[in-house]
Amino acid sequence: MKKIVLLIIVTILGACSTHSIVTDKPQTIKSITVTPTLIWNKVPSNLSIGGVPTWTADGISLNSLSFFSDIKDGKTLIKATKKEQFPIFKADMLPTELVELIESTLAKAYEAKVLSSGNLKPLKLGNDDGFEYTFDFVAGDELPRRGYIAGAVKNEKLHIIFYQAARLHYYDTRVGDVRDIIKTAAIKE
Amino acid sequence: MSKLVLAYALVMLIQPINAEEFLRVMPELTTNYQPDTSGTEGGIWLIMKDAEEALKNSPSRINDPELDAYLHDLICKLTPEYCPEIRIYVIRRPHFNATMAPNGMMQIWTGLLLRAKNEAQLSAVLGHEIGHYLRRHSIKRFDDAKFKTSLFSFLTVGIAGAVATGHMNLNAGRSVLDISQFSMYASIFAYGRAHESEADKYGIQLLADAGMKTEEAAKLWESLTAEFDAANYKKPKPSLFFSTHPAPKDRIRKLNAYSRILSSRLDKEESLGLKAFQERISVHMKTMLSDEINLRQFGQTQYLFQSLLADGISPGLVNYFLGELHRIRKEEGDFALAKQYYEEAKKYEDHDPELYRSLGIMYLKEKNYTLAHAQFSDYLAQLPEATDREMIEYYMTMGR
Amino acid sequence: MRTSNHKIACLLIISSVVISGCATTKQHSSISELQPTLSNLKIALMPVDVRLSILTAGGMHEPQAEWSQAAEKNIHAAIKKIEETRELEFVQYQRPDAADKTASTLIELERLHGAVGQAILFNKYQVKLPTKKDVFDWTLGSTAIVMRDATNADYALFIHLRDSYSSGGRIFMQFAAALLGVGIAGGQQIGFASLVDLRTGDVVWFNYLASSAGDLRTYEKAKKTVDLLLKNLPT
């Protein structure tokens, strides 16, 4: 199922579920707490990337904000069957390696191709040392997209906030709010 | 007298298979062929037209006019009569494959460009595909119900999907580039055994007519088989090549036989076309090697990279990516091997500055801070425009 | 299998809208009339995306080239009629040459429109976004001006239609199923038309059509569909 181009919704699975509102109050997603400043829509789980909690502003074919949390050493980023060889997270990975992990997972799951990458920088996620990273990619619908990631490894577990949107117009509409959200982020002890 | 007859009969009996006559294969396609729009074939051409429109501007397409011109010239060497109607698209996909649609649209995947060792080997594949095209093999399949079902569900699933979701952009339907639906893809591109044989024969005939070394055809399949064996898959792993081209041993044997016959008829030196080929693809080596690594099929990739190394192809890059393979794989002994390859890559002009970053990371994880810092310094010095400069500078503060 | 049952259920829910044989349209309009920059109002007509297929008894959509070509012709003729009666001027959009500097932007705009159209269909009319309940702000963004400059038109009209026609076998199955009280999606016509103001990129008018009747293969019937699709298009 993961092989279906998720980012452009060819999946018919979710056609009967609904979105709910995400207000500008503190939101807790597993071990991550964030407070958005703009209103988002919560995507039904069967429409989201790897079943991971995801928000959208204009529809997931245009933009999405996903939260990966509590990924343990030895696990893949998204659920994979035994046949699929997804890369696994190791607790001693450095940000450069975590970027490889994410790009490689996207490539394997959605035939995503990275078009350009850059700006890997240290970033504080709450009180924890983490990183941020921006890259351009395309998936099956061949619409150029931009991804922005903030992540950190805390107590040997990986937490990632992943924003992606159509590079033309839509990325800019919410990236400011995403950066603000990340400023408010905290990872549970 | 009877002894002579007996001896003659014996000789005939033990005569090897390759003494068969090589009857020339003739094209069945007329030039500038257009199908009847009212039939199934017309419908397929319509879908192909959409797919080609999408391919033209696809980010998956390698848009290198010089490479396209070179490949087109090769095709014209193989079939001067039909090459004007053939359009080439080089697609960035790390799998050995080339396909030709009945409307003359040819896709060449980068995985093929990486594995062909010279023009002759590449032309063997192109000639094989042209063989399918000129003998109208895909058109002949259109009456096969099972084939049609696979093709339509593969190419037009977007219509069914569109009904439910209203998904309607230009690329509606599964992209013809999308290999995730493997079994369907395989059944579309797997011709019957007879057609495969015929395409092999036509292909090698075209090679011979173009004056290229015909023995390279079998050599290519041999190295592919070896690569796949090296992968050591416990269960049959879906491989596009092997699911669409069964019984490699048999075809290798036949191709060798044909090559012997055809070569013996030639009076001039056959060309290999090494230099021109390597020049044209060298600029894409880094992308192709990187895409291979991202497949995470380490056994197969390792064999391929070692083979490139043995042939002296882009040693700086290949050593670097062998380093990457071991660094990412993290099995016993990989750490040391990775470092070895990075150090080796440094010796070559075409090495990539990123190797310093990879080495730095390895030393950092070993807590060998002095060595790590040295690599990171070299990385930043060689790549002043590095987009991860801030992170690397952060790494250099670690261990203080 | 759980997923395919779910799939069928959702198809049924969506097609239940059209089981009675009526055509339904859902529309949004941000504007009541077009406001051209110059006195000369032009709408760039994007390459009409229409594909007709036969829905076989096995549920397969077999594409039909002859029908699709006929449909394209009919749609263009119907649009010409609308042009005359409603005092609009359509200008056929030509896809740029690869050598063109703006080619990649224009292509990206087209692809973006595909994603936007899909988001509207999906998130406005099917699996709705609560934040879009009273808001319609889907847009291609300010880069649309590149398309305005390329076409000299202030607006662009996108038309997408998919139509599948039941083969004899399918109709029989539908009939039999109806007797048993089970709904099966028959041949269906589905499409949308979208009008974009190229000066801002905003989708100012959008019409979604779903029908189990309609036939694009003949001019008279195609005209009905196009009239329905472009009903209330601002002028």
Q: What's the rounded Cα separation, in Å, for the pair A35 and B93?
A: 41
Q: What's the rounded Cα separation, in Å, for the pair C151 and C155?
A: 9
Q: How far is A31 from chain C (nearest CA, A)?
A: 26
Q: How far is B179 from chain C (nearest CA, A)?
A: 20
Q: CA–CA distance from A20 to each of A27, A53, A82 (Å)?
A: 13, 12, 33
- Nearest residue of B to residue C18, measured between CA atoms: B163
Task: Please name the residues in contact with C83: beta carbons below 8 A apart, sequence gap of 6 or more.
Answer: C89, C90
Q: What residues of chain A lie within 8 A of the CB of C117, using their CB?
A: none
What's the predicted TM-score (pTM) here?
0.81
Q: Does the structure show a pLDDT above 70 at C60?
A: no
Interface contact A12-C7, CB threshold 8 A: yes
Q: How many domains does chain A have?
A: 1
Q: Write down the ipTM of this complex.
A: 0.87
Q: What residues of chain B lie within 8 A of the CB of C123, using their CB?
A: none
Q: What residues of chain B lie within 8 A of the CB of A5, using their CB?
A: 178
- C51 in B contact zone (CB under 8 Å): yes
pLDDT value for C11: 39
* Residue A35, domain member (yes or no): yes
- Nearest residue of C to residue A7, measured between CA atoms: C115
> In DSSP terms, which residues pair with A175 in a beta bridge?
none
Interface contact C130-A19, CB threshold 8 A: yes
Q: What residues of chain C lie within 8 A of the CB of A64, using their CB?
A: none
Q: Does the structure show a pLDDT above 80 at C136?
A: yes
Closest to C193 in 3D by CA, of C235, C224, C230: C230
* Residue A141, domain member (yes or no): yes
- Nearest residue of A to residue B295, measured between CA atoms: A108
Segment among A93-107, B35-49, C194-208 with least mean pLDDT = B35-49
Q: Which of B178, B294, B364 sits opposite A94 (nearest CB)?
A: B364
Who has greater pLDDT, C23 or C180?
Answer: C23
Interface contact A40-C131, CB threshold 8 A: yes
Chains touching A (at least 3 CB pairs under 8 A) are B, C
pLDDT value for A48: 74
Q: How far is A175 from chain B (nearest CA, A)?
A: 19
Q: Which of B42, B159, B166 sits opposite C61 (nearest CB)?
A: B159
What is the distance between the terminal CA atoms of chain C, rounded to a whole angstrom?
A: 50
Contact (CB, 8 A) for C196 and C155: yes
Interface contact B169-C117, CB threshold 8 A: yes
Segment among A157-161, C83-87, C149-153 with least mean pLDDT = C83-87
For chain B, 400 residues long, give each residue's pLDDT as a single digit of tens: 456 555 555 544 443 444 456 778 888 888 888 887 777 777 778 777 777 877 787 778 898 999 999 999 999 999 999 999 999 999 888 888 888 888 898 989 999 999 999 999 999 999 999 998 998 887 777 667 666 666 655 554 333 333 222 233 323 333 433 443 444 455 556 677 788 889 999 999 999 999 999 999 999 989 988 888 888 766 555 566 666 666 678 888 889 998 988 887 776 667 788 888 999 999 999 999 999 998 888 999 999 999 999 999 999 999 999 999 999 998 999 999 999 999 999 999 999 999 999 999 999 998 999 999 999 999 999 999 999 999 999 999 998 7
Q: What residues of chain B lie within 8 A of the CB of C64, using their CB?
A: 42-43, 46
Q: What's the rounded Cα separation, in Å, for the pair B131 and B25?
A: 9
pLDDT value for B246: 61
Interface contact A18-C126, CB threshold 8 A: no
Q: Does the structure show a pLDDT above 70 at A13?
A: no
Burial class (CB in 10 A: 0-12, 13-18, 19+), B378: middle
Domain with CATH 1.25.40.10 in chain B: 285-395
Q: What residues of chain B lie within 8 A of the CB of A8, using their CB?
A: 167
Q: How far is B339 from chain C (nearest CA, A)?
A: 41
Q: What value does the CA radius of gyration of chain A take, rounded to a whole number of Å? A: 15
* Residue A150, domain member (yes or no): yes
pLDDT value for C8: 40
Q: Look up the CATH superfamily of B285-395.
A: Tetratricopeptide repeat domain (1.25.40.10)
Looking up residue A33, the CATH number of its domain turns out to be: 3.40.1000.10
The domain in which residue A113 lies consists of: 6-12+20-187
- C53 in B contact zone (CB under 8 Å): yes
- A79 in B contact zone (CB under 8 Å): no
- A41 in C contact zone (CB under 8 Å): yes
> DSSP letters along B15-32, please?
--GGGS--PPP---PPTT
Q: Does the structure show a pLDDT above 60 at A173?
A: yes
Q: How far is C57 from chain A (nearest CA, A)?
A: 21
Average pLDDT, chain C: 75
pLDDT value for C201: 96
Q: What residues of chain A lie within 8 A of the CB of B91, using their CB?
A: none
Who has greater pLDDT, B21 or C121?
Answer: C121
Contact (CB, 8 A) for C50 and C5: no
Q: Does the structure show a pLDDT above 50 at A4?
A: no
pLDDT value for A33: 96
Average pLDDT, chain A: 85
* Residue A1, domain member (yes or no): no
Segment among A18-27, B247-256, B264-273, C215-224 with least mean pLDDT = B264-273
- A74 in B contact zone (CB under 8 Å): no
